[in-house]
Amino acid sequence: DGGITQSPKYLFRKEGQNVTLSCEQNLNHDAMYWYRQDPGQGLRLIYYSQIVNDFQKGDIAEGYSVSREKKESFPLTVTSAQKNPTAFYLCASSISVPSYEQYFGPGTRLTVT
Amino acid sequence: DAKTTQPPSMDCAEGRAANLPCNHSTISGNEYVYWYRQIHSQGPQYIIHGLKNNETNEMASLIITEDRKSSTLILPHATLRDTAVYYCIVRVEQTGANNLFFGTGTRLTVIP
């Protein structure tokens, strides 16, 4: 089955530690995205990538970093510089031509204490 | 991108039609209207999109007013599994990454 996988579903870390969230897709999509969602809120864009080895900051990139070394993979690192890292993180992908549909993964719920 | 306004919550009886409104009075001519939904603790799911004409697919219908300043998503026979947050998004469709702004949406509760 084609789709997007994110692992793990739940992640716990101590404050001050960097943590990397995994996102893999086998849809052959060029574009990939990372969103953050806080309780009762909508989604906010962290980073996006249109093609391998290229990515741009979204609305709330501070304290996060990404890489796009392979088309299938777009890992997100939450660094210790992120002031409020506890959130639900969602990865998505889409085709690069004008597209109305983003495919989302199941999300990773990160808790930092 | 044009801003959208949606009611924060709505209820609908199971089996009845759910009509979810969205205002986008500042929409420009080349901006599409997209609808997504998010079931609790899952990733959002695309439902439907349109530019000017009304659209229908296996999940829903999208009615866009003639002046394009508002739209309505219609779930013709709501089921309990349709309980979710529904997002109305307005965006220019472009090549490359299409960044979608998800606001707080409408929380639809389908009641047995």
pLDDT tens digits for B87-104? 999 987 766 666 778 888
Q: What is the pLDDT along chain A (113 residues), one digit of tens a residue?
A: 569 999 899 999 999 899 999 999 999 999 999 999 998 888 899 999 989 999 999 889 999 999 999 999 999 999 988 889 999 999 999 887 566 688 999 999 999 99
B104: CB partners within 8 A, 6+ apart: A40, A41, A42, B6, B8, B85
Q: What confidence tier does B3 reach under pLDDT thresholds 50, 70, 90?
A: confident
Return d(Cα B94, Cα B109) in angstroms, integer.
34
Least Cα separation, residue A112 to chain B (angstroms): 18
Mutate which: B30, B91, B100, B101, vs A, most A CBs within 10 A: B100
Judged by CB atoms closer than 8 Å, whether chains meet at B41 and A109 is answered as: yes
Q: Using alpha carbons, select from A103, A98, A99, A95 the residue that is nearest to residue A35.
A: A103
- Give me B108's structure tokens: 């639809």
